[in-house]
Each structure stands twice: as C-alpha cells, then as structure tokens.
Amino acid sequence: MPKLLLKNALHIVTMADSALELGPGSWIACEDGVIVGVGGAGEIETMPFAEAEADEVLDLEGCVVMPGFINTHHHMYQTLTRVLGTESELFGWLKLLYGIWKEMLPSDVRTAVQTACAELLLTGCTTSADHHYVYPNGLTLDDVIDAALSTGIRFHAVRGAMSVGESKGGLPPDSCVETEEEILSDMKRVVEKYHDAKKHAMLRIVLGPCSPFSVTPDLMRSSARLARTYPKVHLHTHLAENQNDIDYSEATFARRPGEYAEWVEWTGRDVWFAHCVKLSDSELHSFAQWGCGVSHCPSSNLRLGSGVAPVRKMLDLGVTVGLGVDGSASNDGNHMLMEARMAMLAQRYIGEKNGITARETIRVATRGGAKVLGREDDLGQIAVGYSADIIGVKVTGKIEFAGALHDPVQAVLYCVGSGGVEYSVVGGRVVVNKGKLTTVDVEELAGRHAQCSKLLLERAGYAPGGTITA
C-alpha cells in the first residue's frame, strides 16, 4: 500500500470538526489514498509511519495546506467557447452558443474536458462535478468521463439533458435536444456502467435534466424517481438564475422555482441546484428544511449580469452551500481559488456588512461542496479516515503574497493571482508537483484545444463580432 508523507507545511487548515489548524512544521500521513495521521511539528512521534518508510515525501515548506476544493457546478465542454456573447444576459447568451455547441465533435469535448480539469487541478480543485447536457454528433457521457479521469481528478459526472426545443416553447434549438425516452435509457445505462457508491469513490454519476426551461416537468419527475432507485445517485439542475428564469417559471408553470422543485419531487439532501440567485426568503427557508444544496457560482452570475446569490443569508439559515465555477463560457475560466475570492468579494458588494470570511469561504469550498455532493463522510476535511485530497499553496517567495504573510490563510484567498497551487494530491496521488501537472502535458493540450476551438467556430460559421452566418 503506497505511503505518502506531506511534511514541513507552513500552516494546515484541516477544516475538521475540531477546527484544528497547525503551524510551521506540521505534517499529513496518507496510506492507500486515505489520510492516516495529521500532526504538528511537536508530534512527529505520533506519525503512523516513519519518513524513511514512505514511498513518496513532499516537502511543503512555505505552503498553506487545505483540503482540496470541490467544484460543484461546471460545463467543461464550454472551454471551447470562451469570451463569446460577453454583452448578453443568460437567455441571449445561450441562444448564441447553442448554435455553436451543436457542431461539437466527441474529440473536441474530450479535449475541452481535459483542459477544464487541468486548470481546476492547477488552481486547487481536487473533485469536480460536470453537468453535461448537449450530445451532438455521437458524443456520449463516456467521452466526458474518460477525459476527466485521465487527468487524475475525482469526478461526479452529471448526465444532463435537454428535451424541450424551440418548436415546443423551450430555449434550445430542436437539433440540440433528445427524446425523453432516449434520455432516461441513457441515464440508466451510465449509472449501471459507472456509478461507484463506495466510500472514496473516484467516480459517481448524477442525473441532471438541464433546467426548467429546457425539459418537461415529467422528465424532472422520472429522473428523480430513477435516481432514487440507486444508492447515492444525486440530482442536479439549474434554478432561479436570473429574473427571466423566474418569469419563465411563473409564466409556464405558474410556480416560483421553490414551488416548481417541490412539484417535480426535487426536494431532499440528494438534490442540489446551481445559482439560486433569485430565491425568496421563504424559498431559502424551504431549502434549509428540505436539505437541498446550492452551488454558488459568483463569477458566472456577474459575467451574465444575473446578480449575486444571498450566500450570507443561506449560510445563516442553514442551507448547504458549495462553490462552483460554472461553465467556462460564462466565467470564462476554471480557476477555483479565484472563484473563492470572488465569492468573498461579491457578498460585500450586496451589502452584507461582514460578508463571508476567508475561513468560511474555504469551508464552503471544501466541506460545503462535500455535503452538496453527498460526500461529507469522505471528502472536504484533512482528518484521519478521509480521502487524501489535499492542496498546498506556496505563499513564501511569491510576489503576490508579499505583505500578507502575517495572516497566510487570508492571504491565500485575498491575494490569489493567476498562479495556482504548488501541490495537489487526489486520493493519495500527486497530480500537481511544484506547480506542474503530472498527468497531462499542459502545453500540448493548450495547443490542441486552441485548434479544436478554432475549427469549431469555423464549422458553426461564427463571425467575430457575434453572429452566426452558417
């Protein structure tokens, strides 16, 4: 069983129930992908194995060490279409992009998913969900799963779906939607082929009709019933993203989003929703009661002018909140640490006097995300028995942290620049070592991805400036 020792950290934020934080010289021992010991400089004798017995040792000098961040909402294929529709709101932006996405090939999506995972791993994320809901040209969820796992990330693949095209009053073009029979049968197929309900699983399947404005209430209900026939298959969709989204819900279903969720049986701890920018106070109370999770995606919400979700209020009411970068076409990145910074700043912007602190934000990004994904028993903490998903951000000798080292934990979130983590470990495997990804050649990937993106825009007849001519 491989033994990994992380030693000599500057500071460890464990996020464990004890709120334990450890100072210079602290260490974490891992065996077979699981944490088996954590201690301070004065507790070397309690280490479960001696340094000489370790198969691999990482020296975390100058690093702030935290549980790996958990990204609870993404559409990884969207890295292919960054910085498009930058002046549009949600519905206009989607209509522009659907016309391009329908031209994607399986090889484009594989490259895009690897690209998104590479950026996530380099910037502090060790587990990510990906909500994939467009399946053109023979693409299947298998392509997405293969590509993600090849990067070493822990993955929750959401089998998304769209079934209500334009001709039936939905938003996506008819060419982008599937029949509900096809969707349900593929949902069942991927759960049975891939879903791993066991502790420390590297891969789980989630069922996720895309949004109330692209599927029928029937599909929401049938997918919920299907998910609940399997252990730990959770449900995920978009909800209450902006005012148009609320207006659509009221006009089409005569229901507010919270009422809609209840009507389609999407309540419970096995359900989480992206955005929830426009939930009312009474809907937030219901969410707390139901145990539904929220994926907070501040950059995307700002980019599309949707608003800022009331995260301070959600946390105070006991709503489970995780962090999400959302799709790369509305972020336009996958930078997990920057997303956490944005979450802190956005709460101050909406007038929450004390906002959310750096430690609360780290908690949202780690334990919050773990709870949202149904992984509170094995992810989100540096504690014995938890998966060895650990990140280290080097704060010494770095220009962006100069002047902030009196408080290295706050420094990690407030001063984060374009750089990422020094080390990232997923399930005991070192996937980022001295700032470099060990699983993927990032330069080769970026070149391949640029080419896929260029050819995709050409196939879609996209003319710079925002029109599609083909």
Residues 383-402 as b/e (b if ≥16 CB within 10 A, e otherwise) read beebbbbbbbbbbeebeebe
Min. distance of Cβ 8 from Zn ion in angstroms?
40
DSSP letter string over 431-460? EEETTEESSS-HHHHHHHHHHHHHHHHHHT
Pairing label, strands 390-394, 320-323? unpaired
Q: What angle do CA 447, 452, 458 make, to 5 degrees?
A: 130
User: For Zn ion, which stretch binds (CB under 5 A), given 86-94, 190-198, 267-275, 409-417?
Assistant: 267-275
Binding mask 319-348 for Zn ion (x = CB under 5 A): -------x----------------------
Return the structure tokens found at 110: 């594989």
Min. distance of Cβ 302 from Zn ion in angstroms?
14
Min. distance of Cβ 327 from Zn ion in angstroms?
5
Residues 429-438 as b/e (b if ≥16 CB within 10 A, e otherwise) read bbbbeeeebe
When the beta carbons of 204 and 238 are compared against Zn ion, the nearer one is 238
Chain position carrying tokens 């004065």: 42
User: For Zn ion, which stretch binds (CB under 5 A), given 52-60, 226-234, 266-274, 350-358?
Assistant: 266-274
Q: What angle do CA 302, 305, 309 make, to 5 degrees?
A: 60
Min. distance of Cβ 372 from Zn ion in angstroms?
14
When the beta carbons of 160 and 408 are compared against Zn ion, the nearer one is 160
Binding mask 401-440 for Zn ion (x = CB under 5 A): ----------------------------------------
Cβ neighbours for 43, distance < 8 A, ≥ 6 positions apart: none
Interactions with Zn ion, residue window 104-123 (CB under 5 A): none
User: For Zn ion, which stretch binds (CB under 5 A), given 89-97, 137-145, 273-281, 412-420?
Assistant: 273-281
When the beta carbons of 274 and 388 are compared against Zn ion, the nearer one is 274
3-state secondary structure 297-327: CHHHHHHCCCCCCCHHHHHHHCCEEEECCCC
When the beta carbons of 38 and 157 are compared against Zn ion, the nearer one is 157
**If binding means CB under 5 A, how many residues of this protein chain bind Zn ion?**
2
Min. distance of Cβ 211 from Zn ion in angstroms?
8
Return the structure tokens found at 463: 């003319």
Distance, in Å, from the CA atom of 115 to the CA atom of 135, rounded to the nearest integer, reads 19
When the beta carbons of 156 and 429 are compared against Zn ion, the nearer one is 156
Residue number closest to Zn ion, CB atom: 326
Min. distance of Cβ 69 from Zn ion in angstroms?
18
Q: Are 266 and 235 in contact (CB under 8 A)?
A: yes
When the beta carbons of 163 and 211 are compared against Zn ion, the nearer one is 211
Helix (H, G, I), strand (E, B) or coil at 64: strand
Residue 459, φ and ψ in degrees, nearest 5: -60, -35
Q: Are 68 and 386 in contact (CB under 8 A)?
A: no
Measure the CA dihedral 413/414/418/420, to 10°: -20
Min. distance of Cβ 137 from Zn ion in angstroms?
22
Measure the CA dihedral 21/38/377/190, to 10°: 110
Min. distance of Cβ 215 from Zn ion in angstroms?
14
When the beta carbons of 3 and 296 are compared against Zn ion, the nearer one is 296
When the beta carbons of 69 and 93 are compared against Zn ion, the nearer one is 93
When the beta carbons of 143 and 326 are compared against Zn ion, the nearer one is 326
Distance, in Å, from the CA atom of 223 to the CA atom of 61, rounded to the nearest integer, reads 48
When the beta carbons of 75 and 449 are compared against Zn ion, the nearer one is 75
Min. distance of Cβ 256 from Zn ion in angstroms?
20
Min. distance of Cβ 73 from Zn ion in angstroms?
6
User: For Zn ion, which stretch binds (CB under 5 A), given 29-37, 269-277, 369-377, 438-446?
Assistant: 269-277
User: For Zn ion, which stretch binds (CB under 5 A), given 248-256, 307-315, 318-326, 432-440?
Assistant: 318-326
- For binding to Zn ion (CB under 5 A), which residues are involved? 274, 326
